[in-house]
Structure 1
Amino acid sequence: MNHTTVTTSGAAAYAPESKLRLLWKAMYAHRVSYLFLAPFLVFFALFTIIPVLTSIGLSFTYYNILESPRFIGLGNYRLLFVDDDIFLTAIGNTLKFAVVTGPVGYIMAFLLAWLISQIPNRYRFLYTFCFYTPAITSAVAMTVVWTYLFSGDRYGMINNWLLQSGILNEPWLWLQDVKTIMPVLILVSLWMSMGIGFLAFLAGLQNVPRDLYEAGAIDGVRYRWQELWYITIPSVKPQLLFGAVMQVVFSLQVFDVSVQLVGIPSPLYAGHTVMTHLFDYAFIRFEMGYASSIAVVLFFIMVGLNRFIFNILGHKE
């Protein structure tokens, strides 16, 4: 019995050493590849992994920058979900915003990319530039235009049109009325949503082999929507996955548009999102421990939604 125990323990102790030795051998054999990966891995760890772990650690403390962090356990999370009504409002606004801008922006980006891929090559750059420009223009510059459009006086462009056409009898306070704040934010965000996902869709669509369409025509595919459904979409699944992930991140991190258009805090917190709530506690009240708990909740919401997307669009292999 003792001999068996010793043998089993020795095997158990030897197995991890063998695996570790094999790992080191594999790393040494591919040392040049790891050397090229080293700069990315160092910066990824320095600016992504370490900040995330630090934020998770600070979420269990009371930290106001002036004093050393003081461990309080789950106090921040209890306050967040039980006593902070504004945070629950922010969660509701963010999810409402994401439910609309996520799918609509995603479908709109793909359809526009598909339409652009159907036109001659010499015109594609012009259309791509026109649709992509709002995404690379600063939020401040874009909100100046939208603030003029939705100005609450008679000189606002939309109010002027509606008053002249007789639809309104008096100017509407688009950016102060709680009924219209969220629709305006959604509209502006959709206009600015043609970002990296749009370019990924366009690149993927242009690289679909023409042989597939010719084979489809032989097999009975006659219409464009049949090509889109049976050939194009299955061929660009990696780009669809990437675009979906980017759209989720964009939808849940809405901040600049809300702050620039309706301020912080917005009227009756109608445009208050998780990111504006985080900014309020982190850089206005300087309660970094509480702000870290908000960031952790947002992080796990993003991770959960991204895993859901991977289960739908990701390849099992």
Structure 2
Amino acid sequence: MSEAALDSQTAKKVIADKKESLWARLVSHRTSFLFLAPFFLLFLVFTVIPVLTAAGLSLTYYNILEPPRWVGLENYKQLFLEDDIFLKAIGNTLTFAVFTGPLGYCMSFILAWLISNIPQKYRFFFTLCFYTPAIASSVAMSVVWLYLFSGDRYGLINHWMIKIGVFDEPWLWLQDVKTIMPVIILVSLWTSMGTGFLAFLAGLSNVPTDLYEAGVIDGVRYRWQELWYITLPSIKPQLLFGAVLTIVSSLQVYDIAMSLAGFPSTLYAGHTIMTHLYDYAFVRFEMGYAAAIAVVLFLLMVGLNRIIFNLLGERD
């Protein structure tokens, strides 16, 4: 028998063994898979199928009124070679993510760490104070911040700046291209104490005290040593969870930018990827082009999350 025939038989045997092994594992763990079935079904219906549908629509011209018409990669070509506003939106979104992502993440952890070190009876009050901005509606928050950054003399910041002599005339905070993005970043940081903050607080509260006692025996003397050698390794899953949430929320900034800077903002200074997606999906009804924007945003999120998993995920 020739070597090619032997190799073919060996390959078939390996494939058959793998199929038999997979089926054996499915049968032996059928109860576990049965309990996981509802999640897999929901994940398939609300995540996998929409992503595949968006990827398919991104290769078509679809305006809702007419059937989708195949255009291939034309939408992506237009996005990156002809759509200057989209490129500006990518720059604005990445600028926003670079500032709000690390800063919001560090602020959430530091505040959670500080709260975890105060007496138990006071923790609820401080947790509520820092978490409340995250659960307040964007409309309510925008009303408060629009009053603070109003471009006339009645705006609170302009009023005090003129009163103390810093400004001679009101500054158009939400119309000037130099200050639109900084204001959006500031407001987003104020509302960044969300689910990630609660996850950090829960993780810090559940670190076993035995580890700190063992650390003292092993030579840990300072709080920063406890933090670095005991606390951070113990809450690695929460750190990963918070990082993923931070990336997703940073790249999906939309409502705050729309509420503060308007649509469209001055010279598109507050225009983000999600705002661009909203424009083409629900204003122009060019769903194929909007799907291409969504796919680019999805790939950007997946890439950044992959980096985070490599940094914070368990190697084993």
- The CA deviation string for residues 249-298 of structure 1, in whole angstroms up to 9 with x for no partner, is 11110000001111111110000000000110011101111111111111
Q: Which residue of 1 aligns with 2:173?
A: 174
For 2:251, the equivalent position in structure 1 comes to: 252
Q: Which residue of 1 aligns with 2:269?
A: 270
The 2-side partners of 1:158 and 1:238 are apart by: 41
- Which residue in the other structure is 1:131 paired with? 130
- For 2:8 and 2:305, locate their aligned partners in 1 and report how far apart those are by CA, in whole Å: 41
**1:10-159 alignment runs, 5 A limit:** 10-159=9-158
Partner SS, residue 79 of structure 1: helix
2:185 is the alignment partner of 1:186:
yes
- What's 2:314 paired with? 315
Q: Report whether the alignment pairs 1:211 with 2:210.
A: yes
How far is 1:248 from its partner?
0.6
* Alignment partners' CA distance in 2, 1:82 and 1:73: 15
> CA offset at residue 90 of structure 1?
0.2
Q: For the residues of structure 2 that align with 1:34 and 1:315, how far apart are their CA atoms?
A: 24
Amino acid across the alignment from 1:284: V
Cross-structure match for 1:241: 240
Unaligned runs of 5+ in 2: none
> Unpaired segments of 5 or more residues in structure 1?
none
Q: Are 1:220 and 2:219 an aligned pair?
A: yes
Letter in 2 for 1:203: A
Q: Secondary structure at the match of 1:73?
A: coil
CA displacement 1:225-250 (0-9 Å, x = unmatched):
22112221121111111111110111
Q: CA deviation at 1:17?
A: 2.9
Identity %: 69
**SS of 2:178 mapped into structure 1:** helix
Per the TM alignment, residue 192 of structure 1 is displaced from its structure 2 partner at its CA by 0.7
Name 1:285's counterpart in structure 2: 284
Number of residue-to-residue matches in the alignment? 316
Other structure's SS at 1:178 match: coil
What amino acid is aligned across from residue 39 of structure 1 in structure 2? P
Normalising by structure 1, we get a TM-score of 0.96
Aligned-pair distance for 1:130? 1.0
The residue identity in structure 1 corresponding to 2:162 is L
CA distance in 1, matches of 2:308, 2:314: 11
